[in-house]
Homo-oligomer: A and B are copies of this chain.
């Protein structure tokens, strides 16, 4: 029997609740498909800060590296918001991304037919939206040096960061994005600010060069300000989007809100080799933590991405996705996606319904 080691990083807020549910779904699908999953739970984020004083303990990174895939809940909360940078939960997240080398962040934004009314966009605009944002995750202004604080020549205090991309970083994320686009609608839109930024000019030049390896994919370019508009104006024009770390942070969140159901959206972060990191795109939602109100579906769908992109077991991923669809078809909804005429359930019950459907 095949067996895989999965590191669980429940994290903060609603993280532990949604990860517990997704773990059960993973175990069940494993037993159905004839593989075993061994889980190891490790500390990260605020939970790690409280327990051991750092947001990413060395043991956590080591365990994550040694495993076959990582499932993360969510990190952060008001409690740690004013911490110094090296003691922020977010710094733990950035460190594990860098430590695992997961440079490609795949963020689907799909409007499910059952949930089209959840979008604030008009039905005819939201219906059928199916976008994949491929965000560069281990470079750019998040990691660029020099960074920090200082004084300028007028004696004025300054804060600064460096947006920086190397050809090798652009080429590898471009290849991932072209591969993704090829398996989807065959259209890739690269988003940058090449009319102003040198880092973007190099980005555009390299993405254009890599395009010759993928003659079957149609490449277009768009400035980031226009992309932010076009996502609102006509999101259906997009198939796959590739962009840098900071623009991807902003645009993938905008795209996810266009679906109206961010409690539904998973993400995958993968590298050249080594284990991938899978997590819902929603945050730790401290205001509803511990109240059995969270929507576990984004984490369950992240588990499906883990099976597909992390372990390469697409049949198992499909089973989970089908079970989620069935559960929605059966009318079950957590508070965030509730609408009159459906059945309001909590996090645990939603998990049970998915297990039944599995």
Residues in chain A within 8 A of chain B (CB atoms): 76, 81, 85, 88, 90, 94, 120-122, 125, 141-142, 144, 147-149, 152, 154, 156-168, 193, 195-203, 224-226, 228-234, 246-247, 249-254, 256-258, 262
User: Does the CB pair A233–B120 fall under 8 Å?
Assistant: yes
User: Does the CB pair A253–B229 fall under 8 Å?
Assistant: yes
A202 CB contact (under 8 Å) in B141, B149, B230: B149
Least CB distance from A168 to B in Å reads 5
Assembled-state Cα–Cα distance A228/B250 (Å): 6
Least CB distance from A236 to B in Å reads 11
A159 CB contact (under 8 Å) in B88, B159, B203, B231: B203
Contacts of A262 in B (CB 8 A): 229
Task: Name the 7 nearest CB pairs between A and B, nearest first.
Answer: A159-B202, A229-B257, A228-B254, A160-B164, A225-B253, A159-B199, A156-B166
Assembled-state Cα–Cα distance A71/B226 (Å): 23
Number of chain copies forming the complex? 2
User: Does the CB pair B160–A163 fall under 8 Å?
Assistant: yes
Least CB distance from A174 to B in Å reads 14
Task: Using CB atoms, name the residue of chain B closest to A170.
Answer: B159
A167 CB contact (under 8 Å) in B158, B200, B232, B249: B158
Task: Using CB atoms, name the residue of chain B closest to A80.
Answer: B195
User: Does the CB pair A160–B148 fall under 8 Å?
Assistant: no
Assembled-state Cα–Cα distance A202/B159 (Å): 6
Contacts of A157 in B (CB 8 A): 166-167, 202
Assembled-state Cα–Cα distance A224/B252 (Å): 12
Least CB distance from A343 to B in Å reads 24
User: Does the CB pair B257–A161 fall under 8 Å?
Assistant: no
Given the interface contacts A120-B125, A257-B233, does A202 sit within 8 Å of B167 by beta carbon? no
Least CB distance from A43 to B in Å reads 20
Contacts of A201 in B (CB 8 A): 85, 159
Assembled-state Cα–Cα distance A164/B152 (Å): 10
Contacts of A167 in B (CB 8 A): 156-158
User: Does the CB pair A228–B200 fall under 8 Å?
Assistant: no
Q: Could you list some 22 contacts between A and B, CB below 8 A?
A: A76-B195, A120-B125, A120-B233, A141-B141, A142-B196, A158-B202, A159-B197, A159-B199, A159-B200, A160-B198, A161-B163, A161-B197, A161-B198, A161-B199, A193-B249, A224-B249, A225-B249, A226-B253, A228-B251, A229-B257, A232-B254, A232-B258
Contacts of A148 in B (CB 8 A): 198
Least CB distance from A194 to B in Å reads 9
Task: Using CB atoms, name the residue of chain B closest to A252.
Answer: B225
User: Does the CB pair B234–A256 fall under 8 Å?
Assistant: no
Least CB distance from A175 to B in Å reads 16
Assembled-state Cα–Cα distance A202/B85 (Å): 12
Assembled-state Cα–Cα distance A197/B163 (Å): 11
